[in-house]
Amino acid sequence: MLLVAAVLVLAGPALAQEGGEAYRDFPIVGSRVAIWVIAQLHLLFGAFVLAVPLFAVTIEYMGMRTGDQRYDDLAHEFTRLLTMAFSTTAIFGAMLLFMLLGLYPKFMSYLSSIFSATFLPYVLLFFGETFSLYIYYYGWGKLSPRVHLSIGVLLNVIGILVMMVANAWVTFMTSPAGIDDSGALVNVWDAIANPTWMPINIHRVIANVAFGGSIAGAYAAFNFLTAKTDEERAHYDWMGYIGNFVAIVALLPLPFAGYYLGREIYAFNQQMGITMMGGVFSWLFIVQAVLIGALFLAANYYLWLGMARIEGAERFRPAIKYLLILLTICLMIWATPHSMVASLEESRKMGGAHHPVLGFLGVMSAKNTAVNLMILTTYISFLLYRRGNRIATVAWARSGNIAQVAIFVGAAAVVIFLGVYGYYVEASVRIGFSVPQVGAVLFAMIAVTVIDAFLFKDCRETGGIRWGEISPRSQYALLLLAISFTWLMGLMGYVRSGLRQHWHVYGVVRDTSADAFTPTLGYATMVVSVTVLIFFAFLVFIFWLSRLSQKQAYRAQS
């Protein structure tokens, strides 16, 4: 399997140059959809495979620090999912490469001419990842904890490097650099470190963690719902909680990373940026807002239901209603289109790029405000959840609480003030407001967390957490989180590729195939949905296999 991949990578350029055709056709669905689906599946599994070691190692480390065996077992369980998912990723990767070479030979030969220098390192890194993964998995409990943890860290470092190499190829297609006017390579490092490379690297790492957390949560939810004993339920409830926790923690900074990426796209090519936010794709961001809304709602809903199993958390129930209302309002604002125009023609008729009525709420200013408030709200949910069964005993508890509330109110005030003020200033000034807005939110989250840590240092516990005693509905929230995340990744894949419009490599290699047009959103979402369903079908199979291996162990023991 690996050898096939290696041979293909190295022989690729040669294969691609044979024959003079630029395109070949894939039966029935056509080349584009075939590549689309396989690439997306490869990406989804890849994201999972990259994310799980990140938090497996973190959880293992927590286990080492606290001496709590549960953490170590959980990390081990996550890693078991990993080994199967890893081979699946590799299979899809090889399929993708094989199909690209077969279906898009000319384009691939161009891409090889730019990136051939990166192929060997990629293969080597890939081998490194494989070896460290297997050592990490099979060495569990057998190597010294320190050595084992270091291998886990190494696995992560290599995994991220593999992703970064692949990102270089993909981002080059969007924002080519390091080439001359005719498209010939001048500097391979410039081609790798093209304008959208770093933003995508960062965006993907964060999104992968959130996605991986949500998939782990779905795994736990599935097992919780089908569990036979209370003990199992308690275990999977806890695992689901951790998965959700990981997903939320990564979800919070994701919009910021998204804005960073968007800004880089604008900076690289303003026209592309406008196409993205105001042109053909403007409606896509409405769909995206629905999804992100679902994510935030599901995550919050899960936390609120989770309070039921915490003794003493009843105190906070009334607050939840208001958080829910706030979240819904923010969501509605966020989902207002940036510019509701359907076509350039229509835009001309309206005399501008903004809709006269809806454009008002849809401008960046309102959007930033809404998303910042959503993040704050989710954070408050989380905080309330955390202190569900705790009562602060320090002498300054009251003033500490007041300080926390004051910080929240202050941050919200800054966010809202800048949001409103944004309407009265020039666009160029307004853009600068997003920085203090984000700054206020980040500051509030950090400051409140620090105060909280001291506040609850030697707190009184009003009761324990009754793991396993959570409404099954909460588990569907976890499933919703995982499905929405997967679907969102698919949708973003479409826009990332779609931004290139009728170019394989933007402005350099034109797409002259029959598929050069950008399909409608409805069509794209169909493809995304089918891909997501295939992904889950594979995932269920992998989960089932992982359970199977456990069962055998059980019989051997008894």
Which residues in the 286-345 window bind ligand HEC by CB under 6 A? none
Q: Which of 269, 401, 462, 546 binds other proteins (CB under 8 A)?
A: 269
Q: Which of 26, 140, 476, 538 binds other proteins (CB under 8 A)?
A: 476
Q: Binding partner of residue 343 among ligand HEC, other proteins, none, CB under 5 to 8 Å per kind? A: other proteins
By CB under 8 A, residue 116 contacts other proteins: no
Tokens describing residue 345: 């023609």
Which CB atom, from 240 or from 273, has the smaller least distance to ligand HEC? 273
Tokens describing residue 95: 């399929």
CA distances from 306 to 216, 316, 318 (A): 17, 12, 15
CA distances from 389 to 236, 383, 447 (A): 21, 12, 22
CA distance 181 to 196: 20
CA distance 237 to 533: 25
Q: Binding partner of residue 471 among ligand HEC, other proteins, none, CB under 5 to 8 Å per kind? A: none
CA distance 382 to 251: 13
Beta bridge partners of 390: 461
**Closest separation in Å from C-beta 341 to other proteins:** 10
**Interaction with ligand HEC in 135-164: which residues (CB under 6 A)?**
none
CA distance 204 to 258: 10
Residue 280 · residue 524 · CB < 8 Å: no
Q: Which of 32, 42, 80, 106 binds other proteins (CB under 8 A)?
A: 106
Cα–chain-centroid distance for residue 349?
38
Q: Tell me how many residues contact ligand HEC (CB under 6 A).
A: 2
Q: Which of 175, 246, 504, 543 binds other proteins (CB under 8 A)?
A: 504
Which CB atom, from 401 or from 546, has the smaller least distance to other proteins? 546
**Interaction with other proteins in 208-227: which residues (CB under 8 A)?**
222, 225-226
Cα–chain-centroid distance for residue 200?
11
Tokens describing residue 222: 């599935």
By CB under 6 A, residue 399 contacts ligand HEC: no
Which CB atom, from 17 or from 462, has the smaller least distance to other proteins? 17
By CB under 8 A, residue 107 contacts other proteins: yes
**Interaction with other proteins in 162-201: which residues (CB under 8 A)?**
181-184
Which of 294, 306, 208, 299 is CA-nearest to residue 254?
Answer: 208
SS (HEC) of 223-256? HHHCCCCHHHHHHHHHHHHHHHHHHHHHHCCHHH
By CB under 6 A, residue 271 contacts ligand HEC: yes
By CB under 6 A, residue 393 contacts ligand HEC: no
**Interaction with other proteins in 416-435: which residues (CB under 8 A)?**
426-427
Q: Which of 187, 270, 328, 550 binds ligand HEC (CB under 6 A)?
A: 270
**Closest separation in Å from C-beta 272 to ligand HEC:** 9
Which CB atom, from 364 or from 370, has the smaller least distance to ligand HEC? 364
By CB under 8 A, residue 109 contacts other proteins: yes
**Interaction with ligand HEC in 507-536: which residues (CB under 6 A)?**
none
Which CB atom, from 226 or from 270, has the smaller least distance to ligand HEC? 270
**Closest separation in Å from C-beta 280 to other proteins:** 5
Beta bridge partners of 509: 505
How many CB atoms lie under 10 A from the CB of residue 300? 23
Tokens describing residue 435: 């920085």
Q: What are phi and psi of 391, to 5 degrees?
A: -130, 125
Cα–chain-centroid distance for residue 474?
21
Q: Which of 213, 243, 278, 362 binds other proteins (CB under 8 A)?
A: 278
Give me the residues that bind ligand HEC (CB under 6 A), please: 270-271
